A and B are shown apart, each in its own frame.
Chain A
């Protein structure tokens, strides 16, 4: 009798499970059909039918790359690296106090200051650096400065968020010990907290620098300086061999910076 009960119970569970799976597939199929229909409405299929030809045509115009064009790119590449590096520096400097204001264990007030700091972090993180650059170019005019500040503003949120999490994870008894010597709030931060977060801090900064190299290569598209400026002008003049070379240069820069930052981080940790 008991066994029979168990087997029916198991059976009913299994049937419910099967029904959920069936429902899941049913909805997936419905969605696929619906999406296909939406896509069909918006797409002009005449253009898609000859896509292979168009692609082949573009490729044939892109190759071979215009290698000699590299001589005009050195300066722009240097600008791009500077935008990324100075922007990271600016972001890190601004993020440092924000992180201390946002961390539960160091904020002067959880009711007033912490929400403000968290808002700064969220605002900086939710706006893409391209949009920051767009805004700044219209304020400051085109050029490297707008790019640096755009990268800096974008970096604050990322760096501050990771940093305040590592501040909250610091060992509380070391902090208590320094407090118990009669140290002031800033001395406690200097002696008990900063030594504990220093490795995390350096690693976060380098990681962000690595991301910023990638982001700064496209800032020129909106006029914020660097190699992206050449990319957009080459695109506008349909100089495809130049575009190819710029893409290759960006790829090489990103690979080198990634290798470099991985090396430095593995040395630190």
Chain B
């Protein structure tokens, strides 16, 4: 794949079909020569990245034509972006979901029971904010936060299992691919909600006031 960026006859760098819906478009996975797998070996990932970065690095094109210089910048930026995305398992999953669904938004609707629970936690935070000296409220908040962290850990384990199942589906044909993607979207939405609420509770426990719009 990496070789395809250089013309086999003259070694000149070739443009990358980068528009996401262009025929033969290069996605983050293909960009670094991986199938759309979710369990990627970190060392191999770094190796491929360095290999490909060297191949198209602008330093090697300084004496080449203006077109090749521009292309090496463009392709290098693309390779960097792919590596940044694939390096983080959650970002990687997000990229996969975007590719498979063709939608930019990853978040699904949050499940109703989770939303209700979070609403109650926010009310608890409000009470704790209004009575900062109340030790019982603080204790409850800490307990709830611990429970959320526990759930986050369980969710991450579930995501790992889903990743393994996805990779098997890719290798053996796409039988239950859409169902797996839907499950991942669902878990990722819940995950983001848990993380935001854990952070919110930390803010209250530290006696800070909410920074409005920090997440927007």
Co-assembled chains A and B: no
